[in-house]
Amino acid sequence: MTAKAVTNEQAKQLVAPGHIKAIRAYIPGKPIDDLVRELGLDPSTVVKLASNENPLGMSTAAKQAIEQSLAGLERYPDPGGYRLKQAIADRFDVPMDWITLGNGSNDILELIGMALLEPGYSTVYSEYAFVVYRLATQARGAQHIVVPAKDHGHDLDAMLAAIEPHTRLVFIANPNNPTGTFLSNEAITRFLIAVEKAHGHRVTVVLDEAYNEYIPVAERVNSLALVKQFPNLLISRSFSKAYGLAGLRVGFGIAQPVLTELMARVRQPFNVNSLAQAAAAAALYDDAFLAKSAEVNSAGKQQLQSAFDALGLTYIPSSANFVLVKVNDADHVNQALLRRGVIVRPVGPDGLPGWLRVSIGLESENNRFIEALTAILAESTNPA
């Protein structure tokens, strides 16, 4: 049976809310398989530095937990995620009913949007912030209040001033994606106090800490203490980055029950699968793996930033597992990198034309990128 083609005019007549039709869909990092198919490359030669994944993969403990959980996959996963919630509660010293599990931390961001937003309400977030803030807002028909960035990061004073009577959510990514900037514990605490003083608990602040594990412990925001102090604070964390479980899609939120109970009403009951729950519970306590991940990331970051210095390129010093670098003709450089089997992330759609976000890989992967970029820039300077 052949499907009947739909004309552009017919597509415009589809019954869907205008705010849904206006959404610009999320564009993920290019998969290796896609590049291999498009250019006929040997997959073993392709380096992917586009999606901020852990180049070490997942820990042995997580792999063993998956193997032990293979039996029983014909059953639905635990809808409440008891074992994983218990592990998170023990690890971070919070009650289990303060925890919400998500299909990746993106799911946590979407859940709080579903719980608190509707047409007529608004969210506040920074220019150059994670694209899901826009999507979570627009999917609810709510209004965006986008605050100009300060030094490519959050201007908290301006964000505070931008809050309107109809504002219900403020999103803060720390470290920020895609710029890698970081806000101190003092800055975040001062902002939360100011929001509470000016708006009470009407405005919920989401502190998105997907890259938290890459920050030295002494420098991290004490968000677990803050969430006990502020009932309008939601912390969002991910197992996709430092824990190496991106393919399993698991994240979590921590907030007081006034928020978690609302999120539970809109959460899908089986949103985190059995293997993800088991792997995350094991990965959570693998301190040696987390330390190794942070060590490799720190060395790789220095490797990339030193190369950018040598090439005379502008970049933003990063607190995450990627570096944002300015190459001017980013489209040309990106395409040339792809032809050489190196995948990075153009961020023009995020309002940063001329910049590329480069995930930190293994030393050999970083070298492949540096060598390719050096050759491409040389060709641009000295065309044949």
pTM to 2 decimal places = 0.92
Residue 124 half-sphere exposure toward CB, CA atoms < 13 A? 23
Could you give all domains of the chain from N- to C-terminal order, each with its CATH number?
Answer: 10-56+288-381 (3.90.1150.10), 60-285 (3.40.640.10)
CA 276 centroid distance within chain:
18
Q: Is the dihedral of CA 275, 281, 283, 286 positive or negative?
A: negative
CA 8 centroid distance within chain:
34
| 56 neighbors 289 (Cβ within 8 angstroms) | yes
Determine the pLDDT at residue 26.
Answer: 64
State the Cα–Cα distance between residues 355 and 85, nearest whole angstrom.
39
State the Cα–Cα distance between residues 259 and 102, nearest whole angstrom.
14
Determine the pLDDT at residue 349.
Answer: 87
Pairing of strands 251-254, 233-238: antiparallel
Nearest C-alpha neighbor of 308 from the set 334, 327, 285, 332: 327
SS3 183: coil
Q: In this structure, which long-range contacts are made by residues 312-320, counting pairs with CB atoms below 8 Å and at least 24 apart in sequence? A: 316/152, 316/179, 316/180, 316/181, 317/180, 318/175, 318/180, 319/175, 319/180, 319/181, 319/182, 319/211, 319/214, 319/215, 320/52, 320/175, 320/176, 320/177, 320/180, 320/211, 320/214
Q: Is the dihedral of CA 214, 82, 245, 152 positive or negative?
A: negative
Phi, psi of 327 (to 5 degrees): -125, 10
pLDDT truncated to tens, each residue of the chain (384 aa)?
Answer: 566 666 767 666 667 777 777 767 766 677 788 888 888 888 888 899 999 999 999 999 999 999 999 998 999 999 999 999 999 999 999 999 999 999 999 999 999 999 999 999 999 999 999 999 999 999 999 999 999 999 999 999 999 999 999 999 999 999 999 999 999 999 999 999 999 999 999 999 999 999 999 999 999 999 999 999 999 999 999 999 999 999 999 999 999 999 999 999 999 999 999 999 999 999 999 999 999 999 999 999 999 999 999 999 999 999 999 999 999 899 999 999 999 999 999 999 889 999 999 999 999 999 999 999 999 999 876 554
DSSP 17-83: -HHHHT-----PPPPHHHHHHHH---GGG-EE-SS---TT-S-HHHHHHHHHTSTTTTSPP-TT-HH
Which tokens belong to 221? 């925001």
State the Cα–Cα distance between residues 225 and 180, nearest whole angstrom.
24
The DSSP symbol for 354 reads T
**Unique residue bearing structure tokens 């975040």:** 188
